[in-house]
Amino acid sequence: MTDDATPADRRAAARRGCTRWLAGHGDLTPRRWLVELAEAATAPDLDRYGAGGEVEALEHEVAQLLGTESAVFMPSGVMAQQAAMRSWAERSSTDAVAVHGLSHFVVHELDALSEMHHLRVQHLTDEPRPATVADLDRLAGPLAAVSLELPLRDAGYLLPSWEELVAFTDRARERGVPVHLDGARLWESQPFYDRTHAEIAALFDSVYVSFYKGLGGVAGAALAGPQDLVAQARRWRARHGGTLFSMLPYAVGARDGLRRRLPRMAAYATRARELAAGLGSVDGVRVHPDPPHTNAFRVFVDAPVEALEEATLRAMETDHVALASWWRPAEVPGWAMTELTVGDATLDWDIEDQLAAMRTLVSAARRGARAGSS
C-alpha cells in the first residue's frame, strides 16, 4: 500500500486480508460465491422472464412458509414495496398511504411513492420508535394502505411487542385499511415473537421479505399475499423493468439462504444479546436497544469517528480482524456509532475473543483521540 493511499483504499486492501469478521457472514471472493451458488442449484430447468426454474420453486417455498396464497419474486425490495403500495392504492378511492417517517420508503427511496406513483404519503410518526394505534388514529382521513417496518431499522432495529402489533393491525382492519409488512428483516424478527412466520404474516394483508440481508443471498425479494394482489404486483414488476431474462443466481442464493441460514436466526439473536451485554459493560460504550430485539443493534462509543476509523483499520491490517464496517458521528458531540449485525462469521468466532478485540479497539481509539488533541 502506497503512502498516499486513502482510508478507503486501505480498508479495501485490509479487508481482503481479514480472516475473522465480527459482523455478518464474512467475505467471499466472487469466484467462491459463484461456486457456492452452482453447488446450491437444484431445479432442473432455467427460469425465463421470471417464470419456471428456481424462481418458481422459490415463490412456492415463500408462499408456503408465510402461509399466503401466492408470492412473486422481485429483483429488489424497493420494487416489491412500491408494487405493493401502488396495487393497494389502485383498489382504493384515495391515493393516501401511511408509513413511518423513518421507514425505508421515506429515508432511502427518494420520494418514489409520490414521484413515481403519485401517492400522498402521510407519516404515522417521525419519532425513533415503532408506530402505535394512537399514531394511526391521528390520521383521520381514508387510507389506501398503511405499512409497518419490522424491525424499524433506522431507529435501531426496534420491534413493537406482539400485543402492540396485534392492536395496530386490528385497528387498521376496523378502518378497512390494508396493512403491508415491510419485512426486509422478518426472518430476523421471528425469534423475538416466538411465533411462526405464517402467524406473523397472518396479521398483514401483504408481506415483503428480503433474501440478501440475514439470509446472505445475492439480491432480491418477494412479495406475498392474496393471489389477485400478487398478480397485480407482477404487472408492476414488468413496468419497473424487473422481469429479467433470467434471475437464476438471485433465486438460487435465496433458496440456499432459506435452507442454511433461516434455522440459525435464533442463534444469531442470542449472540447479539450476548455481545450487547458484554459491550455495554465497557467504559465509554453504549448499545441500543438493550437488549437487542433482533440479531442487530447499534453501538455508541465515546470517541471521535476519525480515531475509531484509524483503530479499526489498524486492527484489520495487523490482526486481520474486521470489527466494524463504518463509523458515523452520533448525536452526542464527540461520540460515534456503528451497527453490528450477527451472522455466520460472528458465530464462528469465540465471543470472549470478540469482546476482547472490541475493548482493545475502543481503548486504542480513545488513546489516539487524546494524543491528537494534546
Cβ 320 vs Cβ 17: under 8 Å: yes
pTM exceeding the 0.75 threshold for the entire prediction: yes
What 165-170 contacts at long range (C-beta under 8 Å, 24+ apart), as own/partner pairs, is: 165/193, 165/203, 166/203, 167/133, 168/131, 168/132, 168/133, 168/136, 169/203, 169/204
The whole-number pLDDT of residue 11 equals 87
The SS3 call for residue 187 is: helix
Residues 153, 215: Cα–Cα separation, whole Å: 17
Q: What are the b/e assignments for 86-103, b being 16+ CB within 10 Å?
A: bbbbeebeebbbbbbbbb
Residue with cell 432455467: 46
Write the pLDDT tens digit of every residue in 83-105.
999 999 999 999 999 999 999 99
What is the helix (H) or strand (E) element at residue 287, kind and residue range?
strand 285-288
The single-letter DSSP state of residue 338 is E
Mean pLDDT score, 270-291: 97
pLDDT of 108 strictly over 90: yes
The whole-angstrom separation of Cα 226 and Cα 63 is 10
Domains of the chain (ranges; CATH) run: 7-25+263-373 (3.90.1150.10), 30-260 (3.40.640.10)
Are β-strands 221-225 and 70-74 bridged in parallel, bridged antiparallel, or unpaired?
A: antiparallel
Q: Which pLDDT belongs to residue 368? A: 87
94 is written with which cell numbers? 384515495
DSSP assignment string, 31-90: HHHHHHHHHH---SS--BTTBSHHHHHHHHHHHHHHT-SEEEEES-HHHHHHHHHHHHHH
pLDDT in tens, 295-323: 999 999 999 999 999 999 999 999 999 99
Helices marked H in the chain: 7-16, 30-40, 53-66, 77-90, 104-107, 112-115, 133-138, 162-174, 186-193, 197-201, 227-239, 248-260, 265-280, 305-314, 344-347, 351-373
| pLDDT of 124 | 98
Name the band, by pLDDT with cuts 50, 70 and 90, for residue 364.
Answer: very high
**1 pLDDT band (50/70/90 cuts)?**
low
pLDDT of 374 over the 90 cut: no
What crossing angle do the helices spanning 248-260 and 30-40 adopt, rounded to 10°?
A: 80
Amino acid at 21: W
The pLDDT-based confidence of 185 (bands split at 50, 70, 90) is very high
Segment 10-32 mean pLDDT:
93
What percent of the chain clears pLDDT 90, i.e. is strictly above it?
Answer: 94
Residue with cell 469482546: 355
Pair 256, 175: CB distance under 8 Å? no
For residues 175 and 139, the answer to whether their CB atoms sit within 8 Å is no
Q: Is residue 71 a contact partner of residue 230, using CB atoms and an 8 Å limit?
A: yes
Task: Read off the pLDDT band of 2 (50, 70, 90).
Answer: low
Task: For residue 204, give the nearest of 235, 237, 160, 166 by alpha carbon.
Answer: 166
pLDDT of 26 > 90? The answer is yes
Q: Taking the CB of residue 33, how many other CB atoms lie within 10 A of it? A: 15
What mean pLDDT value characterizes the chain? 96
Q: What is the mean pLDDT of residues 265-274?
A: 98
Bridge-partner residues for 96, per DSSP? 120
pLDDT, tens only, 43-54 = 999 999 999 999
Lookup: cell for 297: 443493534
Q: Which three cell numbers stand for residue 257?
A: 439462504
